[in-house]
A and B are shown apart, each in its own frame.
Chain A
Amino acid sequence: MNKLILFLLLFQLTAVIAVRSQSTRISGFVKDENGSPMKGATVSVKGADASTMTDSTGRYALAVPGARSVLIFSYTGYEKTEIATGGRTSLDVILKLSGTSLNDVVVIGYGTQKKADLTGAIASVSGADLNKRIATDPTQLLQGKLPGLSLTQASGEAGNESPALLVRGYSSYGSSNVPLVIVDGLPGSLTALDPQNIESVTLLKDAASAAIYGSRSANGVILVTTKQGNNGKFQLSYGYNAGITKATALPDLDYNSLDYMTMYNQAAGAATLFTAAQMAAYTNPTNKTLYPNFNWLKAVMRTVNVQTHHIGLTGGRNGTTYNVGLGYVDQPDIMIGFAYKKYNLQFNLTSKLNENVTFGTSLTLNYSTRNYPEDGSQDLFLSTLSQAPLYGPVLPDGSGRYTASAYPNISPNKNPVAVAQTSPGTVNEFYEQANVYLTVKIVKGLEWKTSGGLNIDYQKTSVYKPVINLYNWFAGPNDGFIRTLDVGGQGLSVTDSNYLYPVGYTQLTYNRSVGDHHFKLLGGTQTEYFKGQSLGGARVVYPDNSLQQLNAGSPGAQSNSGTAAEWSLLSFYGRLNYDYQDKYLLEANARYDASSRFPPDNRWAFFPSVSLGWVASRERFFDNVGWLSNLKFRGSWGKLGNQNIGNYPYQNVYVPSYPYPYTSAGLSSGAVETNLTDQSIKWETTRVFDFGTDISVFKNRLSFTFDWYNKLTYGILAQQVLPSYIGLVAPILNNGKMRNTGIEISAQYSDKIGQVSYSIGGNIQANKNVLVKYGPPNILANTIDIEGKPYGSFYLYQYAGIFQSADEISKSPYQPYKPIPGTFKFKDLDGNDSITANDRAVVSGIFPKYEYSFNLGAGWKNFDLTVYLYGSQGQKQFVTGWGIQPFNQGSVPTKDWLNAWTPLNHSTTMPLLYITGTGNVSSNISTPSTYYLKDASFLRIKNIQVGYNLSSKIARHAAMSSLRLYFAGDNLFTFTKFPGLDPERIVTNARYVAHPQNKVFSFGVKAVF
């Protein structure tokens, strides 16, 4: 192999030849479709360094090397147009708005392709379109933009939004479902980018388009391209956005102290009631500071101002172009104690060393600081709900002491304000992704590209847990504290973790046309290596809470930890494209992959794909159909692989972290074999069929894309279901089959009425997931994995109403937990007159039935408007605990509970009041039943933006070439039946509370100088 590389290098060397020729001058005007002059359009000579920009009249002038030169006209948002000069000295051109163009080039795996020639299922979105919304993490902007991609934002927590991406449903249950993200050709992070530096994002959905990424493409591939510079004048731009941010929705809690005490006494056993005297004190109190109706949500939730700055520097000359972006994000959080700051540098450089050799690099540096209270947002939220309105976070005497509670009959969870103010967690992250590439045109049609990249991540996490004394709300100045704040430990722990992730590939591309036959061949090899390491240290006792470094703590109680892991991949890949007259299209891909995660005998696997396309509109019989601009049918078949199953899934090991102190002399090391392993595991495979059609009519004004797919994953690498008496964790093995079938439809229409241009579009995606083969079902607390049903389906007792009388109970089947009137009744499904485990049933709704989005755009003179709606239909959420159940650690009931069942109020929707977590009533009502399954369908006005572009005349007076002002609203309104909090969420522990999503009103400005 080394010899081959040497040969290629020599070959490349000899192929580098400079060309010289005579030059002539050419000039002209660039206008848009309305005939308006376009200022700032780039005009360059194809294959040469020369380029210029148009002036305010749209005029350009430049020297071209000869009569055969080709000029390239480009302007953001418009179709790139190439025109041969043909010896002319004057050439005017009209640029067309892009968007529906088939001449657009889209980024695909290891290359680019004309949209018209695509045969695979691909969706793409431009950076300009993405940046119509404002977000600190560009991943969030993908929601609803790429049909086939489902994006759920886990929460609105600053810097920890954790958007979950899913392409065409869950394709696996043992290994990861996260799509592969490729930034500028190499695996990278989308989150680390500044959204404004993104040129385009492409989603590879089917096997045909993704198979070239064989090993990790089963979950789809997201290709991100960052902006390159343009040949021409240096251009400086500045963007600023300020967003007033608050929670989209909060639960409606009853923060009236007297209500709270009354309801609590209704719920509690005799031993822990509020006394008459205590209740009297809160009845029309004269001292409202001492006897408040304290609203804890208001103490923890706030409205904040999120700011982003972006400076862009771009330009280039003599074949070298650059694009530099500097970004800064200051994102305080809507919950106290949380904040995020991000500093970002993007540096892209492309340089033509000569006619045949191009060198380029792109570099992302990202530094961020994320602050959070040690217990995280869900815990802080639930401990907020756990506080009674009878007291505030700090004592009313002005001493600054934190409150434990008002009366000892209830033990609330930790004081959230105290936690947020005293127990900081901080993650400092430095992330770098960089790559360099070199392309060499060896002979006509043959190009050699080599690219190498390195991603480095360095994270330092420190969490400080102080000892904070908590006092009774009514404590006198000399009263002692009654407990210390529960921060889950004491002292400082610091963890350094880092990874190094180098990747490199080298490939040859060959292009050839013979008559109407066009061929394109690609072949290459790629290698990846990953090593992650961590080192941690902790000290427990600190003299006070002001010094929060390890050395400031007592060395008496200290500990350390550290580990490392690595994996590697080696691959060969290739592609053949063939078309006849741009009418009949064929593409074949193959990848041969090896992963260190599999045993030596099963390391290598082959992932082929093939796709066919027919551009029917190019057939003669459509020649007379004037309204039809494009009609294409395409179909594909292929296999994709997945190996995201932990680093060492087949190695049988003893874990040496089980020590034991036989005597006080010291710890003896201990090791336990904890897991069974399967030494014969191999790649998990996903087979995808895809059929699609692309139609555009009325001169491309209306375009329409449809895809149907059938995705079957088999040999799924997942943990076997085994009885626990085996005593070891069940092994990961190839087992199970899962099918996803679905459709994706998108349509877009743009037109103009007088001076108003407008566009309207939408897309809808529906996916159906079913477990085809699984083995013994896997039943968890409220879900089941069973053949014939969607993966992770709800498996619940059937709520059948509220017992209204003892008589009704005695006439009903036997129910566990000794029900009393006011508690829940469950359905006896198997008819054995007793509610048992056999009365659980599968309930639909774990996945949305369909997701959809609409976009509207309009422009009039210098104004523009975009409206964007996003919706999800048919998903249910199982939610329990704080905010749903009353008095969970004292949690404040929602106002619904004012209608609780009592012997006098025979409610059929709310059971009797109870103390969650204690006694039979709680056990009965807490039974995982359909009662807690809430409809989480929603449609939200995701974004509205109104913009004004200052006329260039006025802008020029301010030394600017353009200036844009806009107002935008994000998550403005949500239509949903989900109670209280936001329906968009990812909560794996069945809790209702989750960091709220954000509603943002923002103002922004973008100036180009």
Chain B
Amino acid sequence: MSSSIKSLIILLFLTGVFACNKNYLDKNPLATIPANNFWKTQSQADLALAGIYNFLVIGNNATGVTAAGAGWGGGSMFWDAISDNAYTTSSGGSFGNISTGVIEATTGGMQLTAYTVSYQAIAACNNLLANVGNIPLDSTTMNQYKAEAKFFRAYYYFLLTQLYGDCVLTLQPLSNDNASATLPRTAKAIVVDTILSDLAFAAAHLPNSAYNGHVVRGSALGYMAKVFLANGAWQQSAATAQTIISEHRFSLYTGGYRNLFFKPGQNGNPEIMFSANYLPPNLYSPSDWLYSYVNSIQVLQPLVNDYECTDGLPITQSPLYNSSKPYTNRDPRLAATILVPGVWRGTTASTVFNLATVTPPVPSGFLPKKGVDSTRFPTTYSTQSDQNWVFLRYADVLLMYAEAQNESVGPDASVHAAIDSVRQRVGMPVLPPGLSQADMRTRIQHERRIELAMEGQRFFDLKRWRLDRVLIPLVKDPTNAYRTFPLRDTLWPVPQSEVDIAKGYNNKGFYQTPGWN
């Protein structure tokens, strides 16, 4: 073969390899779904809905504190560290900094992500609400998708109003245009009205059944009661809680208080009304290693002391209290909630909780136990926890009812019944008769602290009772330093970047939370 022909073959080959193809320049993503193909089928509505629920489990599959979503999902116990229940030195979510009362617009952590994550979730909800109508669905099904999205929109706006007060309110998907970028902060009262109307829609269109992972009517009513309560609407809160009670879809779990926080007790549990769900190995919670490996949350002595003796009397009064055996004859919720020195965990003698050897050190003297699976000890960053984090349960509804009813009507029999049923479930005696409204208020506040301890509720309870500014400065941390709670801390500053950007857009309606300018 002549070299010319050979060269011809080579050239033909080379040009053939790169022969022109009509679609040569049309390259579309290979692992994501094109938006113009979305909102066509019901299974896509399911995809979008699960995408919204996924915001509940931020920090899943984390193998380090930074990624563990402190304050979210299984990391929700961090909220107790900025109340008078617990202490943290962890950098997780900047809760350590926030706890000492030194919060700034650049603090970051939860001060930042409560804002950004909430709005991401709200955008996902608004997106579903704006587009689900394109899918041919019967009106019941359609309304149920909308109801779930509205529940979540309300849930995240509620968090925003609790932390920042006034906030940007949008019920439509936003874009990158100037109008979207120059929205004002809307007055909190208006945002709260929107939250309540979303929850009312959700309550009307969600199935009235037990909780099965999807939110149900009870979940929506429960949050409605919470929103009313947080905004001082006692009568409406009591009425809403009463609706849940009288509809009998939920009840107090009798399989053991501690089992409320683990599987399999959580499966089909009649008390749980809303939770962040996990399923290892593909979607697991960081709870066990957060609370038993890096010891990021430490329980403070005053909470331990607040548990009554089994006779229903505080340890300062009860004859059952023995200061040399301080943990016996106590409200059983103490042993179920708090790990005290000498308690075994794991399988070997070396894993007993010993203050002298535990690392990282536990200067507060106590670790949390609620929602922490001792059988997994010793844990590591790779420990995969399956327990769901409970956000709302029937006991909370009963206590909300008691609180709202006591405030609006007074300590009537229904108030006693509600709080007593929570106490009796763990074998604690009922409250004495003849309590004044103020006495009852104190009792309810005490009961909420004990029943819901380390569940991430206390910070918001103190905020509602306006006791944060009173009680938090009394907290003496293991560093021997007292905390501070400047009055401005009742509402947090929005992220500095938001203020900087608003300034860049000359958005006059957007301002920093008062006190941080």
Interface residues of A (CB under 8 A from B): 1-2, 5, 9, 12-13, 16, 269-272, 353-354, 357, 359, 404-405, 408-409, 411, 436, 438, 440, 450-452, 465, 467, 472, 479-484, 486-491, 502, 504, 506, 527, 529, 540, 556-559, 563-568, 570, 594-597, 600, 603, 647-648, 651-656, 658-664, 666-673, 676, 678, 720-728, 730-731, 733, 775-777, 779, 781, 816-818, 836-837, 917-920, 923
| Contacts beyond the supplied A270-B480, A727-B119: 10 A-B pairs with Cβ under 8 Å | A354-B4, A408-B361, A487-B381, A563-B30, A565-B30, A656-B32, A661-B277, A725-B170, A777-B504, A917-B96
Count, chain B residues at interface, CB 8 A? 120
Find the B residue at minimum CB distance from A465. Answer: B382
Query: Contact check: which of B96, B175, B277 meets A918 at CB < 8 Å?
Result: B96
Report whether B27 and A727 are in contact in the complex, using a CB–CB cutoff of 8 Å.
Answer: no
Query: Contact check: which of A653, A659, A918 meets B50 at CB < 8 Å?
Result: A659
Q: A436-B10, A919-B479 are in contact. Are A411 and B360 (CB under 8 A)?
A: yes
Report whether A671 and B176 are in contact in the complex, using a CB–CB cutoff of 8 Å.
Answer: no
CA distance A777 to B283 in the complex (A): 38
Query: Contact check: which of A480, A488, A647 meets B381 at CB < 8 Å?
Result: A488
Report whether B18 and A502 are in contact in the complex, using a CB–CB cutoff of 8 Å.
Answer: yes
Chain B residues numbered 470-507 whose CB sits less than 8 Å from any CB in chain A = 478-481, 495-505, 507
| B361 contact set on A, CB distance < 8 A | 272, 408-409, 411
CA distance A272 to B364 in the complex (A): 11
Report whether A664 and B279 are in contact in the complex, using a CB–CB cutoff of 8 Å.
Answer: yes
CA distance A588 to B517 in the complex (A): 57
The interface stretch among B97-105, B193-201, B437-445 is B97-105
| B348 contact set on A, CB distance < 8 A | 480
Find the B residue at minimum CB distance from A596. Answer: B27
Query: Contact check: which of B27, B36, B53, B281 meets A648 at CB < 8 Å?
Result: B27
Report whether A13 and B8 are in contact in the complex, using a CB–CB cutoff of 8 Å.
Answer: yes
Q: B457: CB under 8 A from chain A?
A: no
CA distance A659 to B28 in the complex (A): 23
Query: Contact check: which of A404, A594, A647, A923 meets B97 at CB < 8 Å?
Result: A923
Query: Contact check: which of B24, B358, B497 meets A482 at CB < 8 Å?
Result: B358
Find the B residue at minimum CB distance from A837. Answer: B496
| B505 contact set on A, CB distance < 8 A | 723, 776
| B126 contact set on A, CB distance < 8 A | 727
Q: A722-B181, A923-B102 are in contact. Are A438 and B11 (CB under 8 A)?
A: yes
Q: A660-B50, A662-B277 are in contact. Are A816 and B104 (CB under 8 A)?
A: yes
Q: A9-B12, A725-B498 are in contact. Are A408 and B277 (CB under 8 A)?
A: no
Q: A359-B10, A482-B358 are in contact. Are A670 and B15 (CB under 8 A)?
A: no
CA distance A482 to B292 in the complex (A): 12
Query: Contact check: which of A450, A486, A672, A733 meets B11 at CB < 8 Å?
Result: A450
Query: Contact check: which of A9, A452, A651, A662 meets B8 at CB < 8 Å?
Result: A9
Q: A563-B31, A595-B25, A923-B102 are in contact. Are A659 and B282 (CB under 8 A)?
A: yes
CA distance A302 to B149 in the complex (A): 58
Q: A5-B15, A730-B176 are in contact. Are A408 and B357 (CB under 8 A)?
A: yes
Query: Contact check: which of A9, A353, A489, A730 meets B63 at CB < 8 Å?
Result: A489
| B507 contact set on A, CB distance < 8 A | 723
- One digit per residue, 1 when the CB lies within 8 angstroms of any chain A CB and 0 when it does not, for chain B 338-374 equals 0000000000111100001111110100000000000
Report whether A668 and B46 are in contact in the complex, using a CB–CB cutoff of 8 Å.
Answer: yes
Report whether B382 and A438 are in contact in the complex, using a CB–CB cutoff of 8 Å.
Answer: no
Report whether B174 and A727 are in contact in the complex, using a CB–CB cutoff of 8 Å.
Answer: yes
Report whether A671 and B33 are in contact in the complex, using a CB–CB cutoff of 8 Å.
Answer: yes
Q: A408-B361, A596-B26 are in contact. Are A480 and B495 (CB under 8 A)?
A: no
Q: B231: CB under 8 A from chain A?
A: no
Find the A residue at minimum CB distance from B38. Answer: A654
Report whether A720 and B89 are in contact in the complex, using a CB–CB cutoff of 8 Å.
Answer: no
Report whether B29 and A651 are in contact in the complex, using a CB–CB cutoff of 8 Å.
Answer: yes
Find the A residue at minimum CB distance from B44. Answer: A671
List 10 tightest A-B contacts by C-beta distance, closest first.
Answer: A776-B504, A480-B350, A727-B123, A662-B213, A670-B50, A490-B382, A269-B479, A661-B279, A652-B35, A658-B54
CA distance A16 to B8 in the complex (A): 11
| A600 contact set on B, CB distance < 8 A | 25-26
Q: A353-B6, A565-B30, A723-B502 are in contact. Are A673 and B15 (CB under 8 A)?
A: no
- One digit per residue, 1 when the CB lies within 8 angstroms of any chain A CB and 0 when it does not, for chain B 35-59 equals 1101000001011111111101100
Find the A residue at minimum CB distance from B481. Answer: A269
Report whether A777 and B279 are in contact in the complex, using a CB–CB cutoff of 8 Å.
Answer: no
Find the A residue at minimum CB distance from B14. Answer: A452
Smallest Cβ distance from A492 to chain B, in angstroms? 12
Smallest Cβ distance from A564 to chain B, in angstroms? 5
Query: Contact check: which of A411, A467, A673 meets B359 at CB < 8 Å?
Result: A411
Q: A666-B279, A673-B35 are in contact. Are A271 and B480 (CB under 8 A)?
A: yes
Report whether B283 and A723 are in contact in the complex, using a CB–CB cutoff of 8 Å.
Answer: no
Find the A residue at minimum CB distance from B15. Answer: A5
Chain B residues numbered 256-301 whose CB sits less than 8 Å from any CB in chain A = 263-264, 267, 277-283, 293
Report whether A450 and B168 are in contact in the complex, using a CB–CB cutoff of 8 Å.
Answer: no
Report whether B501 and A722 are in contact in the complex, using a CB–CB cutoff of 8 Å.
Answer: yes
Chain B residues numbered 409-453 whose CB sits less than 8 Å from any CB in chain A = none
Interface residues of B (CB under 8 A from A): 3-8, 10-12, 14-15, 17-20, 24-36, 38, 44, 46-54, 56-57, 63-64, 89, 91, 96-97, 100, 102, 104-106, 115-116, 119-124, 126-127, 167-168, 170, 174-176, 180-181, 183, 212-214, 263-264, 267, 277-283, 293, 348-351, 356-361, 363, 378, 380-382, 384, 478-481, 495-505, 507, 510, 516-517
Query: Contact check: which of B29, B351, B478, B500 meets A653 at CB < 8 Å?
Result: B29
Query: Contact check: which of B100, B212, B357, B498 meets A724 at CB < 8 Å?
Result: B498
| B120 contact set on A, CB distance < 8 A | 727-728
Smallest Cβ distance from A207 to chain B, in angstroms? 25
| B29 contact set on A, CB distance < 8 A | 565, 647-648, 651, 653
Smallest Cβ distance from B482 to chain A, in angstroms? 12
CA distance A271 to B168 in the complex (A): 43
| B168 contact set on A, CB distance < 8 A | 723, 725
Report whether A271 and B363 are in contact in the complex, using a CB–CB cutoff of 8 Å.
Answer: yes
Report whether B11 and A662 are in contact in the complex, using a CB–CB cutoff of 8 Å.
Answer: no
| A467 contact set on B, CB distance < 8 A | 380, 382
CA distance A919 to B479 in the complex (A): 10
Find the A residue at minimum CB distance from B500. Answer: A779
Q: Can you give 12 contacting A-B residue pairs, CB < 8 Å?
A: A480-B349, A482-B357, A489-B381, A490-B382, A558-B281, A596-B25, A603-B25, A647-B27, A662-B213, A725-B170, A726-B181, A781-B106
Smallest Cβ distance from B492 to chain A, in angstroms? 15
Q: A438-B14, A661-B213 are in contact. Are A722 and B176 (CB under 8 A)?
A: yes
CA distance A438 to B7 in the complex (A): 7
CA distance A436 to B12 in the complex (A): 13
| A678 contact set on B, CB distance < 8 A | 176
CA distance A460 to B7 in the complex (A): 38
CA distance A559 to B284 in the complex (A): 13
Smallest Cβ distance from A358 to chain B, in angstroms? 9
Report whether A653 and B32 are in contact in the complex, using a CB–CB cutoff of 8 Å.
Answer: yes
Report whether A728 and B11 are in contact in the complex, using a CB–CB cutoff of 8 Å.
Answer: no
Find the A residue at minimum CB distance from B504. Answer: A776
| B175 contact set on A, CB distance < 8 A | 676, 726
Please indicate which of the listed interface residues B115, B348, B505 has the most CB atoms of chain A within 10 Å of its own CB. Answer: B505
Report whether B359 and A651 are in contact in the complex, using a CB–CB cutoff of 8 Å.
Answer: no
Report whether A654 and B53 are in contact in the complex, using a CB–CB cutoff of 8 Å.
Answer: no
Query: Contact check: which of B27, B34, B277, B496 meets A660 at CB < 8 Å?
Result: B277
CA distance A328 to B360 in the complex (A): 47
| B281 contact set on A, CB distance < 8 A | 540, 556-559
CA distance A594 to B485 in the complex (A): 60
CA distance A411 to B296 in the complex (A): 12
Find the A residue at minimum CB distance from B175. Answer: A676
| A489 contact set on B, CB distance < 8 A | 63, 381-382
Smallest Cβ distance from B219 to chain A, in angstroms? 13
| A502 contact set on B, CB distance < 8 A | 17-18
Smallest Cβ distance from A205 to chain B, in angstroms? 29
Report whether B124 and A816 are in contact in the complex, using a CB–CB cutoff of 8 Å.
Answer: no
